Amino acid sequence: MKFKINYSFVYLLYIVFPLVLISSCKDDAVDEEKVIVIKNSSTAADEAQMAFIEVEEGYTIQFEGGTYDFTNTLSMDGKTNIVIKGAGREVTYLDFSGQTAGGEGVLVTNSSNIRFENLSIIDATGDALKARDCDRISFVGVGTIWSGTPDAGNGAYGLYPVLCTEVYIDNCYAYGASDAGIYVGQSDKVIVKNSLAEGNVAGIEIENTTNADVFDNEATDNTGGILVFDLPGLTQYGSHVRVFNNNVYDNNRANFAPSGNIVGNVPAGTGCMILSTNTVEIFNNSLSENDFAGILVASYLIINDTPNDPNFQPLPYSIFIHDNSHTMTGTISAANQPSLVADIINLLVSNNLDQPNILLDGLILLPTAVCVQEDAGTSFVNMNALNDMSFQSIITDISVHDCTQTPLSAVEFDPF
Amino acid sequence: MQCNKKEEEPLNKVNIPEGDGFPMLSEYNFFKGTLHDLIPNEEAGVLPYDLNMPLFSDYAMKQRFIYVPDGNIIPYEEGQTLDLPIGSVLIKHFYYTSTNGTEKYIETRLLIHKAEGWQAETYEWNEEQTDANRNIIGGNRTISAHINGTDQSFNYLIPNVNQCKNCHAFNGKQEPIGPVIENLNKNFSYSSGSANQIATWIAMGILEAPINPSTAHWPSMNESNASTEDKARAYLAVNCSSCHRLEGSAANSGLYLEYANQDSLSLGFWKNPVAAGGGSGGFSYVIKPGYADESILLYRMISDVVNERMPEIGRNLSHDEGIALIREWIDNM
């Protein structure tokens, strides 16, 4: 049965049919028989927007295979129990290359129990898929892509949940973001797993977020692989983040973030980076051929010495780095690096030091703020900026960091 | 007998739909006579009003009307959006002067206060300009208009209901933005003559009479005896703070531009961008005091790139007068 939907109709026609073949992975919330199909036609963008506005609780909005062209943000607000799905991450493309309005490709706000799955968003003018103020939101098999060679003209964030709770990101793909491919900000209870981030400035970034587990991901060919940041002046600060069992390799791409953005300070060649946050555990990761540093621990003060936020704690603490494997055989050039990073590279060279597996800027109150339990032979440099902001008293002795922190507990919630 | 007469002539009252908005604007009975004349149905309680500092919307000209149901009164509260009674409607009409000199009506937006919350409805005027049709999904329209002495053609966005709420959001719920005592405190040319709007509303019985009324008002753009600082803060409050506040859609930015905010970091002074992307314009601070042209705030007001420009929705043209004001404010810090 086929309907030709006239998009000028005020009311959307729901096409409802029983799904026989799709096995249910969630039976508690979504009635699998309630499906709105968005057929791939010249009026699909309007039909999709209408469906996003009028969809009722418990429905699935299903995109067919193919490329859907949008000129405006596709947005949803105030919904509950909705699945938005395509026919496959490399089968269904929501294409925003012709976008003339809106700051993001897809936007979902003030909603709960939302799942995006099996589709890709390409060439969004701004952020690809933003979810703000959502509770229990999942992204499974979702791609965010800026086609072509990554450059500063690409949107900032790929997957972009912010001010959300119970965020579940599984089997997703992010390419070409001029800030972070997979970004979770100002959120609580987060799982990012089984995903691939490549060709972004930051592959995966957890910012001002509490209780996040980032594991079994691949981050490669980014400027920095996996970032855990806290910035001043936002709605909340982060803590309790675990980064483990990830494969973080060859993140040496020249930083292409539009200048002025904090992420523009990330050195090309960074595996994992911790900035001004606390209670973070980085373990069992494979960190290879990230030519600046496998793990970098730094303070926001190195970028901006006046955060102007009295409640912000810029010096990282309760950082526990252990049982990671490190491989570094390449070299990094000071060319095309942020100036501070170039200074560090040149200083290491002049001190006859190789780029280390673990690099600290040294803006920590006590050595035990960062505990390290890695294989013997793990190379280490502390730029010791706390004593000398011009880095003239570099420390290479890792033994003062020979301490442990209480392992963090797993993030647990029932994802939608 | 009076009751006989009543049956012959239906009561002249505003019609409020139970659920979704009516298909046509005319069905609300907001206006009397020919709809195109937009003569408010004052007998039914529709009153025109104006603001000192209006939101810039691509140089669209606007007419505003308020309807408060008979017997209801707005509590007097300064410094915040007025809490309009259930059943109230705010009506905002958008139009341009066409390149041939005639007025071209684009859309009329409604905010209807239902018991379950505020409901946004948008009506797009038909080609004949006789009535306007309900439009849920909005869309881009090419507008040719005579603006600031020149003919311009540009892309105008009629917002969909979600985009209405993107700006009209307060803690996730839809709320009005404009009706603030300080912004309403001005004279208006009523059919009966010029009078202060606040005094008029109080006299009409739709606004509570305050015990200690403030004389505070937000300045208009061309108010000669207002300070640049005051004008700039009012401009930012009206044009930015509906999103850029803790309760708004841009809460995650940490940039809060309400009129009353005195915290320098959240006002943008020496504040690094959080999620600006290309919107940084290559600059490091939202406001770099003394350097307007190195301030992201001004850059994003000037930019016409879709993912850089601010406000994010509803601005395709840049606002020369607003840019001049903010530039003067920042440069003189």
Tell me if A99 and B306 make a contact (CB, 8 A cut-off): yes
What is the token pair recorded at B139?
């869309």
* Whether pLDDT at A1 is above 90: no
Which of B310, B170, B176 is CA-nearest to residue B239?
A: B310
- Chain B partners of A109 at a C-beta cutoff of 8 Å? 162, 165-166, 169, 172, 249
- Whether residue B280 and residue A261 make contact (CB cut-off 8 A), yes or no, is yes
In angstroms, the CA A397 to CA A32 distance is: 59
What the block records as the tokens of A28 is 């508690």
Other beta carbons within 10 Å of B20: 13
Kindly report the nearest CA distance between residue B114 and chain A, in angstroms: 17
* Alpha-helix runs per DSSP H in B213-319: 228-239, 296-302
Contact: A101, B160; criterion CB under 8 Å: no
- Residue A306 half-sphere exposure toward CB, CA atoms < 13 A: 7
Q: Quick one: closest CA in A to B251, which residue?
A: A235
Q: Which residues pair with A87 in a beta bridge?
A: none
**Stretches in chain B below the pLDDT threshold 70:** 1-9
Q: Measured between CB atoms, does B306 come within 8 Å of chain A?
A: yes
Q: Does A6 touch chain B (CB under 8 A)?
A: no
Whether B246 contacts chain A with CB within 8 A: yes
Which tokens hold the place of A393? Answer: 């008293």
pLDDT tier, A23 (very low <50, low <70, confident <90, very high otherwise): very low
Q: Residue B52: which of B145, B184, B209 has the closest Cα?
A: B184
> What is the structure's pLDDT at B212?
83
Chain A positions touching B280 (Cβ under 8 A) are: 258-261
- pLDDT tens-digit readout, A106-123: 999 999 999 999 999 999
User: What's the CA gap between B322 and B237, in Å, rounded?
Assistant: 12
Which of A10, A50, A73 lies closest to B23 in CB terms? A10
What is the Cα–Cα distance from A49 to A44, expressed in whole angstroms? 8
Chain B residues in contact with A55 (beta carbon < 8 A): none
B165 touches chain A (CB under 8 A): yes
How many Cα atoms occupy the beta-carbon half-sphere of B202 within 13 Å?
15
CB-nearest to A260 from B264, B296, B307 is B296
A238 touches chain B (CB under 8 A): no
Q: Is residue A382 within 8 angstroms of chain B, CB to CB? A: no
Structure tokens at A71: 């000129």
Query: In this predicted model, what pLDDT tens digit does every residue of A338-386 receive, in sequence order?
Result: 999 999 999 999 999 999 999 999 999 999 999 999 999 999 999 999 9
* Whole-Å CA distances, B198 to A16, B203, B218, B223, B230: 53, 9, 13, 19, 21
* Contact state of B306 with A53 under an 8 Å Cβ cutoff: no
CA distance B217 to B182: 4
Positions of E strands within B215-303: none
Amino acid letter, B285: Y
pLDDT of residue A31: 53
Dist CA A169 CA A142 (whole Å): 9
Polymer length of chain A: 416
Q: Does A352 touch chain B (CB under 8 A)?
A: no
Determine the residue of chain B that is closest to A260 in CA distance: B284
Instruction: List CB contacts (< 8 A) between B254 and chain A.
Output: 231, 233-235
For residues A1 and A15, what is the distance between their CA atoms, to the nearest angstrom?
9
Query: What number of CA atoms fall less than 13 Å from residue B99's CA on the CB side?
Result: 9
Q: Which residue of A has its CA nearest to B268?
A: A233
DSSP reduced 3-state for B316: coil
Selecting from A110, A160, A308 the residue whose C-beta is nearest the C-beta of B270 gives: A308
**Residue B257 bridge partners (DSSP):** none
Place of tokens 């003919």: B151
pLDDT for residue A389: 85
Our CA-based measurement puts residue B278 at a distance from the nearest CA of chain A, in whole angstroms, of 5
Structure token pair of residue A193 = 């797993």
Instruction: Tell me if A354 sits within 8 A of A348, measured CB to CB.
Output: yes
Q: Which amino acid is at A276?
A: S
Instruction: Give the pLDDT of residue B305.
Output: 93
Q: Where are the beta strands (DSSP E) in B20-137?
A: 31-32, 39-40, 46-49, 61-67, 89-97, 103-114, 117-125, 132-134
Residues in chain B: 333
| B155/A100 CB distance under 8 A | yes
User: Band of the pLDDT at A179, cuts 50, 70, 90?
Assistant: very high
How far, in Å, CA of A389 to CA of A283, rounded?
29
Residue A187 forms beta bridges with which residues?
none
The predicted complex's ipTM stands at 0.91
CA B309, CA B299: separation in Å to the nearest integer?
A: 8
Q: Is A88 on the interface with B (CB under 8 A)?
A: no
* Contacting B residues, span 265-304, partner chain A, CB-CB under 8 Å: 265-266, 269-285, 296
Pick A125's closest partner by Cβ from B271, B282, B307.
B307
Asked if B280 and A186 come within 8 Å (Cβ–Cβ), the reply is no
Taking only the tens place, the pLDDT of each residue in B172-192 is 899 999 899 999 999 999 989
Q: CB neighbours of B10 closer than 8 A, spacing ≥ 6?
A: none
- For chain A, the average pLDDT equals 92
User: Cα(B206)–Cα(B68) distance, rounded to whole angstroms?
Assistant: 7
Question: How far separated are the first and last CA of chain A, in Å rounded?
Answer: 31
Q: Please give the pLDDT value at position B8.
A: 61
CA distance B61 to chain A (A): 21
**Which pLDDT does position A33 carry in this prediction?**
82
Residues of B in contact with A178 (CB under 8 A): 277-278
Q: Could you tell me which residue, A4 or A89, shows the higher pLDDT?
A: A89
Q: What does the longest C-alpha to C-alpha distance in chain B come to?
A: 77
One-character DSSP codes across A29-89: S--TT-EEEE--STTHHHHHHHHHHH--TT-EEEE-SEEEE-SEEEEEES-EEEEEE-S-T
Q: Which residues in chain B are closer than 8 Å to A209, comparing Cβ atoms?
A: none
The C-alpha angle B29, B33, B35, rounded to 5 degrees, equals 65
Per-residue confidence (pLDDT) for residue B7, from 0 to 100: 57
Q: Which of chain A's residues have a Cβ under 8 Å away from the Cβ of B274?
A: 185, 231, 234, 262
> Sign of the C-alpha dihedral, residues A165, A314, A130, B107?
positive
Residue B126 touches partner A, C-beta closer than 8 Å? no
**Looking at the predicted structure, is the pLDDT value of residue A46 above 80?**
yes
Q: Does A406 touch chain B (CB under 8 A)?
A: no
Beta bridge partners of B142: B155
Give A401→chain B minimum CA distance, Å.
Answer: 32
**Angle at alpha carbon of residue A81, lines to A75 and A86, rounded to 5°:** 60
Q: Are A163 and B252 a contacting pair at CB < 8 A?
A: yes
Residue B19 burial (C-beta neighbours within 10 Å; 0-12, 13-18, 19+): exposed
Question: Could you give the 3-state DSSP secondary structure of residue B263?
Answer: coil
Helix B228-239, helix B320-331: angle, nearest 10: 130
- ω into residue B311 within 30 of 0, thus cis? yes
| pLDDT the model gives residue B71 | 93
CA separation, residue B303 to residues B241, B299, B300, B312 (Å) = 19, 6, 5, 11
Give the Cβ contact number of residue B227 at 10 Å: 11
In whole angstroms, give the CA distance from residue A113 to residue A55: 14
Q: According to the model, what pLDDT value does residue A246 have?
A: 98
The vertex-A260 CA angle with A254 and A265, nearest 5°, equals 45
Query: CB B163 to CB A102 under 8 A?
Result: yes
Minimal Cβ distance to A77: which of B165, B271, B283: B165
Which residues lie closer than 8 Å to B2 by C-beta, 6 or more apart?
Answer: none
Residue A271, pLDDT above cutoff 50: yes
The residue of chain A with its CA nearest to that of B277 is A156
What pLDDT score was predicted for residue A32? Answer: 54
Chain A partners within 8 Å of B246 (Cβ): 235
**Torsion region of B276: left, alpha or beta (phi above 0 gives left; psi -120 to 50 gives alpha):** alpha
A8 interfaces chain B, CB cutoff of 8 Å: no
The conformation of residue A300, written as its DSSP 8-state character, comes to G
A405 Cβ under 8 Å from any chain B Cβ = no
